[in-house]
Amino acid sequence: MTQRHASPAGEPDTQKPPPADAPMTPHQAFDALYEFCAPALVRQAYLLTGRRQLAREAVVRAFHLAWQRWPEVAMDRDPAGWVRAAAHDYALSPWHRFRPRYRHAEPPLADPSDRALMHAFLKLPPVYRRTLLLYDGIGLDLPDTAAETEASTPAAANRLLHAREALAALVPELATPDVLPHRLAALATSARLHAAGSSAVRADIERRTRDCSRAAMALAIGLVGVTALALHVAPDHYERPMARGTPIEEPPPPPQGPLSPQQLTLHAKLKANLNGGPARMIPEPR
């Protein structure tokens, strides 16, 4: 990438590591890239977020992705730029605002001018902060800045101009263009952030990779077991379902027809002798 100037905030990130005489193993190459880029990336992530722990976490996450895709990163024309883009993407993720640990205010900086600059810088939209950091803090040219922020060159130029104007309105001393790179470099180093050791980071990355592999294997075994159980208990032939029965309705009572002569005779006899029969059956009036 073309560079216009070098600044302490991005100096290790914009130079090429010295070539080695003998080919390095992937672990050695990863450690060399980490030692070369991590200190500057931590400071850059701190400028983008204003949070120390999130800055370290973003760098570790970026190198975690780099180790997972190491063949791709190792063959990239700019491995440092690949890791830088991953760290910036993670640091500016909007989901961090919902995490409990990042809802509390960060301890303020000791210098009042640094506090004012950090407060003004964090008031810019995230894409403005990233554009300003890449161009004025690290020293990338405008096309590379546009490519890394996934924007066209005119769009990146407009973002840069608006970011400078907004920052100068909040901090008047930054109206001079040459002052901003030095102030960003001083602000990045004022927090005194240090990256973790490469061996510890790589060991943690390998441990997480093993845990993810074991979890994926356990999930696959569980799916195989559930599938086998389903095949075992499932019916092996088609059983036709029973048809629904039709409810039976009780037939209505048959209509009563005319009485026969015998029935008429019996009816008349019963009606005429209602009080007939033994005396014991007749109620006695009292």
**pLDDT band at residue 12 under the 50/70/90 scheme:** very low
Name every residue whose Cβ is closer than 8 Å to that of residue 54 and which is 6 or more positions away in sequence. Answer: 45, 91, 96, 102
pLDDT-above-90 percentage for the chain:
29
pLDDT band at 282 (very low <50, low <70, confident <90, very high): low
* Contacting residues for 137 by C-beta, under 8 A, at least 6 apart: 7, 9, 10, 44, 47, 181, 184, 185, 188
Q: Which residue has the tokens 């205010």?
A: 105
168 three-state secondary structure = helix
- Residue 91 confidence (pLDDT) above 80: yes
Query: Do residues 5 and 139 make contact, with C-beta atoms less than 8 angstroms apart?
Result: yes
pLDDT at residue 1 tops 60: no
Average pLDDT over residues 259-278: 75
Cα–Cα dist 66/74, whole Å: 9
> pLDDT digits over 25-61, tens only?
888 888 899 989 999 999 999 999 988 899 999 999 9
pTM over 0.85: no
